[in-house]
Chain A
């Protein structure tokens, strides 16, 4: 009896172990070694017209998005009768990793952002597209200047940039007027933003927040990774290939966030945290911004469209402006992070040549780009595309200008990028809740740890 009890207790933790090991069978021999399948060697199928079926894993979505994807694929198949594309929505990145390491990846990956690009590329899981781009003489000047920055790791291009997104300051002009602020002059520095936020925050008799002026941790703002650039932050030193976690700009950004949480009169940092946590799901009518309880956010172009759909009464009072900067680098006014939906060929893909044909067609085709940019309420990677969403809504122009500007900055693709960002967010979270927390020391430690 006792022996059996012991055994059953042993079997349960065994499940955890098998969870860890399940991604690992048939290790990397297949996945990584095929990395250097160079362009041009596999031309037989493409030119001979042999029937080829490509698998594509996309992260646009399952419903309407999948239909738009299918229409695009239909169009491509009509022009390339020998290629069929089988697209499925796969959002689970551990599934993608398992497929690549198992030597059976999809031919095309369409990811929703580039956050894993550096990690996967550094592990040899992605195909460097540089030879394909050179062979087909893709005109990089047709793309906005910083588009290829988003998909570059260590000099290689590991995806075609497709549909860009960034962020700006989005604010509720009615709430400005009510608080006695001029809606035509949004804050230009973070010091101003803090003053505005104080005036825009309301606390009731019981000490509960009923309205908040701003919050640095809004989902679309990409946290420090997003607004750090407006403090002049450099997250990575390209020349030494080292992470710079204790960069002065990052320290300044954290200092501002700590001040923000501690300088609003009558409330504690935890009160602000609780108020932010009380909001409904992001981009629904219940989220704090769309329900009129938050006056300013840093968010992407999509949020304008969601306000239109979820809270149409509010739409007229929503205005946009550049993200403020810290007062010592006002020349960065107009800077925002820039990211894209990279179109990737995993290492070991069965038909890289045909996969390239599709992703190069899709990312350079104006009509396809326009369709997807408008579907995702985002921006075009091609300079020449004129979006209806911009014609209909002049506020969108600001986002497009920022994306096309030389000031746009993309978060560098780094081998241990997710670990870096997660740790930055952790330190940021602690700094905001506790004003005695020594985030500088924590950033120094992080820098040592990640550069080991």
Chain B
């Protein structure tokens, strides 16, 4: 009995040793296969990230060697009213944008999940805008949002609004205008939701229906919990994307007659734009690096918060 047990453990040990050898070999092979991405990541992501941490403690203009100044950049940032303006702009944009875009995409997906004729055509129509390249989309929308001749204001006028907003030219309406543009391009998220919705088993819905649940109840108590992970995925990626919002705002402000990067009264000076302006416009790379690090911390914090929030439902 005892002897047998000993022999078994011996055998086990051998097997474990064998396996470990195999694992090591596999690991080595695996690492070799993904080495391009590892090397690429180290050279083009990790190295710049570490360097930017160093630069954030220096006075660095790109053209001259960086000069160590300790935490001066961070101190300056917290005393810079324009920095706070960019933070507030970005937070406002993210806090309103994320729920707005996610809920719209979800509702669209629900509608497009109905089994009606021509549904494929509708799906394609809603998805098409998200295929339009970013810059083209931004230029197109700066015309749609044109105060006097824009499509949007023409429609508003024909509906009887005598003095429609100036959109991008008006500090209070510029951010809603940009959100409208993002809503138009929400097809990408819609497709993800649609796929998730189609993965919800019919049997669950069927049994809920048999238990007497109406369509709304099924949606709230069956569909939403089933696609919860997808919703969180979309919320997190959307939040991170909006915190770093740059391209469209850059194109729209360069296309405007005011020519100022932050738009009228800096109302669309988002975090990314201000960072770009300080770094590449004013050659304050150290300051821009410090801003980037704070943005990283904000993004991490937002992600952590959202994950905590999602844990509450487990």
Interface membership of A137, Cβ < 8 A: no
Contact of B170 among A29, A31, A273, A418 (CB under 8 A): A273
B48 in contact with A22 (CB, 8 Å):
yes
B52 in contact with A32 (CB, 8 Å):
no
Chain B residue contacts of A12, Cβ below 8 A: 237, 240-241, 244, 299
Chain A residue contacts of B265, Cβ below 8 A: 429-430, 433
B307 in contact with A2 (CB, 8 Å):
yes
With both beta carbons as reference points, the residue of chain B lying nearest to A209 in the complex is identified as: B148
A277 in contact with B146 (CB, 8 Å):
yes
Contacting residues of chain B (129-170) with chain A, CB-CB under 8 angstroms? 146-150, 162-163, 166, 168-170
B63 in contact with A100 (CB, 8 Å):
yes
Contact of B285 among A11, A23, A31, A422 (CB under 8 A): A23
Interface membership of A279, Cβ < 8 A: yes
In the complex, per-residue mask of A121-153: 1 if CB is within 8 Å of any chain B CB, else 0: 001110000000000000000000000000000
Chain A residue contacts of B162, Cβ below 8 A: 206-207
Contacting residues of chain B (271-285) with chain A, CB-CB under 8 angstroms? 272, 275, 277, 279-285
Interface membership of B295, Cβ < 8 A: yes
Total CB contacts across the A-B interface at under 8 A: 186
In the complex, per-residue mask of A176-199: 1 if CB is within 8 Å of any chain B CB, else 0: 000000000000000000000000
Name the residue among A13, A18, A119 with the largest chain B CB count within 10 angstroms.
A13
A274-B166, A426-B260 are known contacts. Are A20 and B63 too (CB-CB below 8 A)?
no
Interface membership of A312, Cβ < 8 A: no
Contact of A6 among B52, B283, B307 (CB under 8 A): B307
Chain A residue contacts of B293, Cβ below 8 A: 17
A219-B257, A277-B258 are known contacts. Are A94 and B48 too (CB-CB below 8 A)?
no
In the complex, per-residue mask of A418-437: 1 if CB is within 8 Å of any chain B CB, else 0: 11001001100110010000
In the complex, per-residue mask of A1-29: 1 if CB is within 8 Å of any chain B CB, else 0: 01001100111111111101111110111
A273 in contact with B169 (CB, 8 Å):
yes
Chain A residue contacts of B113, Cβ below 8 A: none
Interface membership of B176, Cβ < 8 A: no
A206-B163, A277-B256 are known contacts. Are A13 and B66 too (CB-CB below 8 A)?
no
Chain B residue contacts of A273, Cβ below 8 A: 166, 169-170, 264
CA distance A119 to B62 in the complex (A): 12
Contact of B300 among A10, A15, A18, A31 (CB under 8 A): A10
Chain B residue contacts of A278, Cβ below 8 A: 146-150, 169
A20-B285, A206-B163, A208-B163 are known contacts. Are A282 and B62 too (CB-CB below 8 A)?
no
B63 in contact with A282 (CB, 8 Å):
no
A125-B63, A219-B257 are known contacts. Are A18 and B45 too (CB-CB below 8 A)?
yes
A124 in contact with B64 (CB, 8 Å):
yes
With both beta carbons as reference points, the residue of chain B lying nearest to A223 in the complex is identified as: B259
A24-B55, A277-B169 are known contacts. Are A422 and B281 too (CB-CB below 8 A)?
yes
Interface membership of B89, Cβ < 8 A: no
A9-B299, A17-B48 are known contacts. Are A426 and B266 too (CB-CB below 8 A)?
yes
CA distance A11 to B240 in the complex (A): 10
Name the residue among B146, B168, B284 with the largest chain A CB count within 10 angstroms.
B146
CA distance A25 to B171 in the complex (A): 38
Interface membership of A91, Cβ < 8 A: no
A5 in contact with B147 (CB, 8 Å):
no
Interface membership of B104, Cβ < 8 A: no
B272 in contact with A16 (CB, 8 Å):
yes
In the complex, per-residue mask of A86-124: 1 if CB is within 8 Å of any chain B CB, else 0: 000000011001101100000000000000000110011
A16 in contact with B292 (CB, 8 Å):
yes
B296 in contact with A17 (CB, 8 Å):
yes
Tell me, rounded to whole Å, the shortest Cβ–Cβ distance linking B159 to chain A. 14
CA distance A123 to B299 in the complex (A): 34
A20-B52, A94-B280, A277-B257 are known contacts. Are A101 and B62 too (CB-CB below 8 A)?
yes
Interface membership of B65, Cβ < 8 A: yes
Chain A residue contacts of B233, Cβ below 8 A: 5
Interface membership of B97, Cβ < 8 A: no
A422 in contact with B260 (CB, 8 Å):
yes
Tell me, rounded to whole Å, the shortest Cβ–Cβ distance linking B165 to chain A. 8
Tell me, rounded to whole Å, the shortest Cβ–Cβ distance linking B162 to chain A. 5
CA distance A31 to B60 in the complex (A): 14
In the complex, per-residue mask of A432-447: 1 if CB is within 8 Å of any chain B CB, else 0: 0100000000000000
Tell me, rounded to whole Å, the shortest Cβ–Cβ distance linking A263 to chain B. 20
Interface membership of B289, Cβ < 8 A: yes
Tell me, rounded to whole Å, the shortest Cβ–Cβ distance linking A208 to chain B. 7
Interface membership of A217, Cβ < 8 A: yes
With both beta carbons as reference points, the residue of chain A lying nearest to B53 in the complex is identified as: A17
CA distance A32 to B63 in the complex (A): 7
Name the residue among A101, A277, A416, A433 with the largest chain B CB count within 10 angstroms.
A277
Chain A residue contacts of B61, Cβ below 8 A: 123
Chain A residue contacts of B55, Cβ below 8 A: 20-21, 24
Interface membership of A270, Cβ < 8 A: yes
B65 in contact with A28 (CB, 8 Å):
yes
A sample of 16 cross-chain residue pairs with beta-carbon separation below 8 angstroms, ordered by A number, consists of: A5-B233, A5-B236, A14-B49, A14-B296, A17-B293, A20-B289, A23-B280, A25-B51, A29-B65, A124-B64, A206-B163, A270-B166, A277-B166, A429-B260, A429-B264, A433-B265
Task: Known A-B contacts: A13-B295, A97-B63, A101-B62. Give 9 more (CB < 8 A).
Answer: A17-B49, A20-B292, A21-B47, A23-B285, A273-B264, A275-B148, A277-B256, A278-B150, A429-B264
Question: Which residues of B are in contact with A by a Cβ distance under 8 Å?
Answer: 44-45, 47-49, 51-52, 55, 60-66, 82, 146-150, 162-163, 166, 168-171, 232-233, 236-237, 240-241, 243-244, 255-262, 264-266, 272, 275, 277, 279-285, 288-289, 292-293, 295-296, 299-300, 303-304, 307
